[in-house]
Amino acid sequence: MKTTTKQKIAFAILFLCTVIVVLPVLFVLAVVIKNGWPAINWEFLTTMPRNNMKAGGIYPAIMGTIYLVSLSTLFSLPIGLFAAIYLNEYAEENMLTRLIRLAIVNLAGVSSVVYGLFGLVMFVTFLKFGVSILSGALTLAIMNLPVIITASVEALASVPYSFREVSRSLGASRWQTIRHSVLPFAIPGILTGAILSLARAAGETAPILFTVAAFYLPNLPHSVFDQAMALPYHLYIISTQIPGIPQQMRYATALVLVGIVFSMNIFAVIIRSKFRKKKKW
């Protein structure tokens, strides 16, 4: 066989493999939209569940997820950003820095259910926060830290070194330089990373299983020390734990969750591409 023909066949196979990888995304979307969309209406999104969750809406689950994700970002974003600043702007190549890198890689690899265990002992039991939004949010925050750090380091590193040099040559201190000549230009990248990590936190189930999630609550939580329902956990229990839930409601819940996560992702991608176009250095 001619080598060019071989190449054509090989490339076709590679292409096919790639399609097989991407296709499930469309499949998942198609399935949840087709089966879930008819059940989605204003009532479904804004009312409490009724009749042992067989009717009514998923309002408290949506709100619970929003509370959890916002609170966890409140913890993880500042710590993650500062950690990234340390790694990219201050750290020298020494043992400590290598240890930090190793720790980040490791945090990224820890199983989500192990985070759940950790959150249970550390926040629920040891710090006595109880099974609460606070415990769940802190657990999610630590879990998200590596994502935010990695994205922020990348964003900081993409700011040209010359900006720092110019700023320092004008007599600015190290922190002034970071604050005025590095951070402003890294913000879009950091934001993208933060939103992606938020999306991930919104979809996580295992870390909140033992730290916050409630099967059913008649009221919305009043403070961060209350339990809360959450979308991914709700989807889990209505699809595995309670028989007799109308199938459509399960699809609709999945659709809402996927909708939230995907729209956040798309938002992040838009910010990123806008920024790339605007970038002038």
Using CB under 8 A as the binding rule, the residues of this chain from 63 to 122 that contact another protein are 78-83, 85-87, 90-93, 96, 99-118, 120-122
Contact between 205 and another protein by CB under 8 A: the answer reads yes
Binding mask 143-162 for another protein (x = CB under 8 A): --xx--x------------x
CA pair distance 221, 230, nearest whole angstrom: 11
* Phi, psi of 204, deg, nearest 5: -75, 140
C-alpha closest to that of 129 among 196, 62, 71:
71
Q: Does 14 bind another protein (CB under 8 A)?
A: yes
Residue numbers 164-183 binding another protein by CB under 8 A: 164-176, 180-181
Q: Which of residues 224-243 bind another protein (CB under 8 A)?
A: 232-233, 235-236, 239-240
Of the pair 223, 243, the CB lying nearest another protein is at 243
Q: Does 271 bind another protein (CB under 8 A)?
A: no
Residue 251 structure tokens? 């699809």
- 270 makes contact with another protein (CB under 8 A): no
Cβ proximity to another protein: between 47 and 248 the closer is: 248
193 binds another protein (CB under 8 A): no
Which CB sits closer to another protein, 111 or 222?
A: 111
Which of the 8 DSSP states describes residue 213?
B
Answer whether 195's CB lies under 8 Å from 102's CB. Answer: no
Distances (CA, A) of 28 to 185, 196, 251: 37, 19, 11
- Residue 104: which residues within 8 A CB-CB, separation 6 or more? 145, 146, 149, 150
